[in-house]
Amino acid sequence: MSNISTLRGLEGQTQGPVFGPADPAAAEEIAAFNTAIVQHPAAVIGAVGEDDVCSAIRWATGQGLPVAVQATGHGLYKPADAAVVISTRRMDSVELLAETQTIRVGAGVRWRKVIDTAQRNGLAPLSGSSSLVGAAGYALGGGVGLLSREFGFAADRIVRFTIVTADGEIRVVDADADPDLYWAVRGGKGNFGVVTEMELGLVPVTTLFGATVYFTAESTPSVLRTYATWAPSLPTNSSSSVALLRLPDLETLPGPLRGKRLVHLRYTFNGKAEHGEALLRPMMTTGEIVLERRGVMGFADADVIHQDPTTPLPVWERSAQLTDFGEDAVDALLETAGPESDCRLLKLELRQLGGALADQPEFPNAVAGRDAPYSLFMIGICPPGAQEAIQESGEAALRALKPWTAPTTLVNFLGAATRPEDVRAAWLPTDRDRLLRIKTTTDPDNVFRFGHALV
């Protein structure tokens, strides 16, 4: 192999496979869910455990190379070019600890496996809208899901974690063992090392009342106007979001949705079905329904609520948080992204926050964006040549919603198109100062500079 000399010193040091930069298996190993991101790493290590992670980090730092970590590739921000990439996908262990109602998960596990294990024991993790996403990347970045308004960010439920830092040391971190790192990594994401294992708190939820309702594009003004007053009236044991869609004409989509502009309401309620149904009622009469599913569903089936894409696509993505979504904001959104506009985005989603998301957990962490009542997430399919039009649509929406834009963002939703200076908003200024101080002591050479980097 032409690249073997580059890897000298690493062969035989890991149990998992090592791929050189020109090896086609390397590209496959670290393919991004957003296929617009193509990476050119120096080496890829398919770690099978924490010893492999240590070896990879020690080897990389010995060569003066930075380190990136990747599980599923759902959250890539910038390509790990000329870096050593530690792929954690083989580290997908799950162990339920019934006594403490917690679950110990490996760094590469997807939510699907965590949910299935927890559900067999009458419990649920604070997972998100898609069970294909990796539990570690999601929870370290905060993590907002269907149960968050009732139980908080996923990061708030990280009881302890094991991390390999830039010096190649393995540290088991919790509130007592290392309070600074415990605070920083929960929200500071991949900036401090490679988390090899986490213990997560679970909640006693097995079913939800849920609804996924597609309305015609013509219904958009009325759906949005009703949503703006309805959502704030909901109790915290509910989740809601609304998305403006411009779907491609794909055979994989249900017939009534194919190639259509639509408005999509998503709702869940953790309580009695009759109560959940009654709360939903005002929204069901706001427009013409094209397709809907609603009723009691297993928590394990909750991917149906958001119906996130399951296959990789080239996309443009950005996000923001909103301080309010009142009448004026609705008007601004309709003008720039409504059915009469030439908005080219695949999806513009408004997700309701609030409730327990606003509260710091018993042991505070670095997650920002607790005060904003809504998050805004935009995504456009970006085949070569279409980038400019998509970007213009997204930026037009951001401009229109500027009066209601919060100073914070949620790190998980930043999207690959976020400018590096805007990544700073993922942490409150005082928190960022503290994060930088901790970074200086744990990673003085900025070995971990991929993902949503502090510096």
Q: How far is the CB of 161 from ligand FAD (least distance, A)?
A: 9
What Cα–Cα distance (Å) separates residue 182 from each residue in 16, 288, 342, 446? 28, 49, 46, 19
Least distance CB 150 / ligand FAD (angstroms): 15
Q: Does 190 bind ligand FAD (CB under 6 A)?
A: yes
Stretch that binds ligand FAD, among 7-15, 128-136, 204-212, 276-284 (CB under 6 A): 128-136
Q: Are strands 238-246 and 289-298 parallel, antiparallel or unpaired?
A: unpaired
Site membership for ligand FAD, residue 442 (CB under 6 A): no
Q: Does residue number 70 form part of the binding site for ligand FAD (CB under 6 A)?
A: yes
Could you count the other beta carbons within 10 Å of the beta carbon of residue 18? 23
Residue 73 binds ligand FAD (CB under 6 A): yes
Mark 277-307 as b/e (b = at least 16 C-beta within 10 Å): bebbeebbebbeebeeebeebebbebbebbb
* Residue 267, φ and ψ in degrees, nearest 5: -150, 140
Check residue 143 for interaction with ligand FAD (CB under 6 A). Answer: yes
Q: Which is nearer to ligand FAD, 284 or 313 (CB)?
A: 313
Cα(449)–Cα(26) distance, rounded to whole angstroms?
Answer: 20
CB–CB of 215/265 below 8 Å?
yes
Report residue 12 as tokens: 């035989």
- The region of 137-145, 220-228, 237-245, 354-362 touching ligand FAD under the rule CB under 6 A is 137-145
Radius of gyration of the chain (CA): 22
Q: Which alpha helices (H) appear in 124-242, and where do they start and end? A: 135-140, 148-151, 179-188, 220-230
The owner of tokens 């309401």 is 265
Which range binds ligand FAD by CB under 6 A, 142-150, 209-217, 401-409, 425-433? 142-150
Question: Does 412 participate in binding ligand FAD (rule CB under 6 A)?
Answer: yes
Distance of closest approach, residue 128 Cβ to ligand FAD, in angstroms: 3
User: Please, which residues bridge with residue 34 across strands?
Assistant: 313
CB of 298 to ligand FAD, least distance (A): 18
Q: Does residue 268 touch ligand FAD according to CB under 6 A?
A: no
Site for ligand FAD contains 141 (CB under 6 A)? yes
Binding residues for ligand FAD (CB under 6 A): 33, 69-76, 88, 107, 128-130, 133-134, 136-138, 140-145, 189-190, 194-195, 308-309, 412, 450-451
